[in-house]
Chain A
Amino acid sequence: MAHESQSEPATERSRLPPVKYLVVSYPALALVSLFAVPLLLLFVFSFFQNVSGGYLRYVLTFENYVRFFEEPLYLERLVFSLRLAAVTTIGSLLLGYPLAYRLATTDSSLLRRSVLMVVVSSLWLTFIIRGYAWAVLLRSNGLFPILASRLGITETPVSLVPGYWALVVSMVYVFLPFMVLTLYTSIKNVDHELREAARNLGAGPLTTFRHVTLPLTKDGIVSGSLLVFVLSMGVYVLPRILGNPPQWTLAVVIGNQVTVESNVPFGATLSIALMLVVVGLIAVTVRLTGVETFGVSATKEVDQS
């Protein structure tokens, strides 16, 4: 090998790790130290003992987990959260699919963009504002109860807030955009020629929908439903604003444990439980349906482009 001149730094460059590791170090470090570590801490904390007054004893114990299973309240809340999430998912699916279908199949670009913008904008508004809006609409002097009493459905305006159905309505309202956007992408991906071919072969609009569009959007339906379900499981604000304690989700209980009760270890336990349920659900759904959601899929096949 040729002798390198003195002015050139000898093998400086080769001592640095390859670029690819440098690049990924920032996000990887950030995520690991500020995300994976806190979660791990959470896991560890769930085994600590709580002493009233907000102090912890750094002793490992299972008592928090025992409490979770033994005191009926917590499992009750978990089951309620699951039920609520299910109802919300079904509601947003029924409401959202026709809308997504109309958006995906319309020729009018103006209609599509403006409605999509409305949908996406509502998505970003804080849940609080949206929940608050429904509280206003469903109170005893709100639009809907007054309408109901005028139409004779009820004698006097009946306040629906706080209450289970107010909560459901607001939850469907809040998560509808997620469903619509997922379904929209899925429906859009169905080649319109396939629908035309079905029509040409004698299938009417409903038949075409049943045999062509619906089966081909199966993935989108699963994706959207999973997304809404998972997000519903974590909702905190809406049950607080629109529901009484019987309508509180597990997330609300967790929040209370950490703040009002100052019982971080138990809060951590409940968090771990909730997390396991959610992650478990995702894993099971992905495995069962083979649908790729959030970039996670059941198979590790390399994308052939």
Chain B
Amino acid sequence: MSDSTESTHSSTGEYARLETKRSSGRDRLYAFLLNSYTALVVGFILLPLVVISLMSFTPSEFLRFPPDGLSLRWYREFFDSRTWLLAMQNSLFIAVASAIGATSIGATAAFALNRYDYRFEVALTGLVILPILLPPVIIGVAFVTLFGLLGVGGQSWTLAIAHSIFFSPFPFVLVSQGLADVDQSYEEAAADLGAGRLSVIRRITVPLLQANLFAGALFAFILSLNEYIISWLISGFSFKTIPIQIFTSLRYTYSPVIAAVSLLFILMTIVVMLLVDRFAGGMWE
């Protein structure tokens, strides 16, 4: 019985002494360049945000960079100000309403288009996607016209409706993706086992799509929270959301309160992002 290591020697005995060939090193150079560039771009993306965050802690009235000390006075000013708090309240309510509205429209449309055939399929798909293609200002003007005609100008619930429509493409795309991934055989198995159509939707489809639905709602929520132009046009000075308030403040001053609000928003966004990642993290891969 031959030992396995013996047979690795060539039949002519010990293997020939090898000369060495060295690599040209080009690969490592390119890898280094690419990595440095990536770091620079990531730095570029983070820089403004870091700067603002730092600035929100400045004790002085003006924006000084580098800041001279740490202070929470601007956060206090934010939480003490009726104007800002009211704007925050408006923003949050509208965002929640928009999230619900956008998801209901987008998800239903996604479901309908995925599961059934219609003659007007292309038209409907185009209509669902169109809102994000058009410059928001145009949509804002269109809604102003509509609401003006209907005599409901300047009321905050109209903004919720506008946002629901404007942001419905996002849940639509996400749920469509999700439906494409969900194997229809799960639903068929359920039906075969006796579940009625509504039951199937309730117990099989929706739970499987949970992540996408949640992600879509979160998308709409955060986008609504941050949206300026449509909000401004529709509000017509009669109510304010945070973006509107920020923009108004910017006209007169660069007060660090804005930096404080910005950081709060950044944090909120990060939390939402982490939530989305936790529930539907596979999306990014």
Contact = CB atoms under 8 A, between A and B. Distances in A.
Contacts of B232: 255
Interface string B83-116: 0000000000000000000001110110111011
Interface string A266-293: 0110010011001100100000000000
B165 A27 contact: no
B38 A27 contact: no
A254 B137 contact: yes
B112 A124 contact: no
A236 interface: yes
Interface in A221-266: 230, 233-237, 240-241, 251, 254-255, 258-259, 264
Nearest to A34: B165
Contacts of A38: 139, 142-143, 145-146
B44 A173 contact: yes
Of A23, A121, A126, A300, the most chain B CB neighbours within 10 A belong to: A126
Interface residues of A, number: 84
A8 to B, nearest CB: 17
A101 B233 CA distance: 40
Contacts of B204: none
Of B106, B225, B233, the most chain A CB neighbours within 10 A belong to: B233
Interface stretch (A63-71, A135-143, A210-218): A135-143
Interface residues of B, number: 92
A124 B116 CA distance: 33
Contact of B30 (A35, A45, A120, A205): A205
B124 A24 contact: yes
B250 interface: yes
Of B49, B63, B65, B138, the most chain A CB neighbours within 10 A belong to: B138
B191 interface: no
Interface stretch (B1-9, B12-20, B69-77, B125-133): B125-133
A118 to B, nearest CB: 6
Interface stretch (A9-17, A109-117, A190-198): A109-117
Interface in A114-168: 115-122, 124-130, 132-137, 141-143
Contacts of B258: 132
A268 B105 contact: no
Given A241-B250, A254-B138, A236 B228 contact: yes
Contacts of B124: 24, 27-28, 31
A126 B144 contact: no
B112 A274 contact: no
A176 interface: yes
Contact of A23 (B116, B148, B272): B116
B189 interface: no
A249 to B, nearest CB: 9
Given A125-B269, A133-B48, A42 B246 contact: no
B174 to A, nearest CB: 13
Of A98, A125, A294, the most chain B CB neighbours within 10 A belong to: A125
Contacts of A295: 125, 129, 173
A136 B65 contact: yes
B70 to A, nearest CB: 18
Contact of B233 (A19, A31, A142, A255): A255
Given A27-B105, A38-B146, A296-B129, A234 B165 contact: no
Interface of A: 19-20, 23-24, 26-28, 30-32, 34-39, 41-42, 45, 95-96, 98-99, 101-103, 112-113, 115-122, 124-130, 132-137, 141-143, 173, 176-177, 204-206, 230, 233-237, 240-241, 251, 254-255, 258-259, 264, 267-268, 271, 274-275, 278-279, 282, 294-296, 300
Interface of B: 26-27, 30, 34-35, 37-38, 41-42, 44-49, 51-52, 55, 63-65, 104-106, 108-109, 111-113, 115-116, 118, 122, 124-146, 148-149, 161-162, 164-165, 168, 173, 197, 222-223, 225-229, 232-233, 236, 243, 246-247, 250, 254, 258, 262, 265-266, 269-270, 272-274, 277, 281, 284
